[in-house]
Amino acid sequence: MRGGKIMIVGTVPGDSAINFLKINREVTIQTVFRYANRYPVTIEAISSGRFDVKSMVTHIYDYRDVQQAFEESVNNKRDIIKGVY
């Protein structure tokens, strides 16, 4: 299978290596940077139940497992709706 979109939200401390040859299947990679002052509003909305994130997130990864998250996002499109690390 080809295609799909991977969004990298925020940053991680230090360098992160990604083997792009393993995810070379016409995947769109988009980075997203959000300002820290937006997090409290979002956390409150999720905590209060205004946003049902449980129905959107199918996989959770540690930031150290970013390579695995990319590979699984590309190879398991039918199983992964939203992976978060």
11-33 pLDDT, tens digit each: 667 777 777 776 677 778 777 77
Cα 73 to Cα 75: distance, rounded to the nearest angstrom:
6
Residue 39: both structure tokens together = 């997090």
pLDDT attached to residue 48:
94
pLDDT attached to residue 28:
80
- DSSP string spanning 28-60? EEEEE---GGGHHHHHHHHHTTSS-GGGT--EE
Residue 53: both structure tokens together = 């994130």
Length of the chain in terms of residues written = 85
Strand partners, 83: 59
Structure letter (DSSP) for residue 22: G
Please say if the pLDDT value at position 34 is more than 70.
no
